[in-house]
Homo-oligomer: A and B are copies of this chain.
């Protein structure tokens, strides 16, 4: 009978709790083995609710005989924890971004490679069935040669102020998903970045954020041009769309409404809002992300989202930041 993968969760913030709950109940082949958070009370609450232990330190959890770890702590602590987990011989799932610092990423990935463990980075959107269907259309050649990609990624509301102050800003925290998506959909590296950005939503954000609204144009090695548009305040919900256009046609993933009912009267059609935030929209993607992790670890296969996949979007985010500040395109790669 197949061994069940025992996975510990480091970090019990919003995303860590979500992963812990999924691992505790909804991921075949995996079980939650324990949790840790720098805020002991946060870890205790989750541990109690899910019937596991709360470790007194990250080290304690890493050394508790688990098979793998999910790193969901604040970004600045990721590299060090990856190195420690790799040193303990654990398979590692790490939330995005690995780090804002390329040297730290390189050290972490080197440690993983040296230890010969698996590292999977949390670009969950790759596992969304709708986005994946667009990518599959590209990959099988149904769209011919790819000319244009368009990614819309708008949050329903800005992150909390204290989170913002530590997050690295729009390009590192939000657009990073879209930089990954651009690479995922096209299958081609980015060679030039041009960003146009502004602070539009709320003047009071100015002391913790440089930009809250942006358009980023990427030129890929293949010649494809990708356009990303972002906002931190889409009052109508979590707007997540991808479109790919090529010599053979077009494919796109649309938003999903909260329900499938509508109403008509003399004034027209009324229907439901789109799903409001990432837990609703990407629940299936998060579950499939764990299935992929469990599958890769169990079979000794390669990660579907590697350390290199975790590094590349950070390089693009750096270039986007520079471009948005100077107004000029920035070459990379």
Contacts and interface: CB of A to CB of B under 8 A. Distances in A.
> What copy number does this chain have within its complex?
4
Nearest to A199: B223
Interface in A251-296: 251-274
Interface in A161-216: 194, 196, 198, 200-201, 213-215
Nearest to A264: B236
A264 B247 contact: no
A47 B265 CA distance: 38
A130 B265 contact: no
A312 interface: no
Given A142-B263, A196-B194, A261-B131, A201 B247 contact: yes
A194 B217 contact: yes
A5 B323 CA distance: 54
B133 A259 contact: yes
Contacts of A52: none
A15 interface: no
Contacts of A134: 261
Contacts of A256: 260
A116 to B, nearest CB: 33
Contact of A217 (B215, B236, B270): B215
B269 A271 contact: yes
A87 B255 CA distance: 50
Interface string A124-148: 0000011111100100001101011
B253 A261 contact: yes
A145 B130 CA distance: 31
A43 B268 CA distance: 37
A273 B269 contact: yes
A278 to B, nearest CB: 15
A311 interface: no
A196 B215 contact: no
A196 to B, nearest CB: 5
Contact of A273 (B201, B231, B237, B264): B264
A248 B229 contact: no
A260 B254 contact: yes
Given A213-B147, A260-B256, A266 B235 contact: yes
A200 B273 contact: no
Contact of A264 (B215, B237, B264, B265): B237
25 contacts: A25-B25, A25-B26, A129-B258, A130-B259, A130-B261, A145-B200, A147-B200, A147-B231, A148-B213, A194-B196, A194-B217, A198-B223, A200-B223, A214-B225, A215-B225, A229-B245, A236-B250, A239-B250, A249-B263, A250-B263, A253-B259, A257-B268, A271-B271, A328-B328, A328-B329
Given A235-B248, A249-B265, 6 more contacts: A129-B261, A133-B261, A142-B265, A249-B266, A253-B260, A264-B273
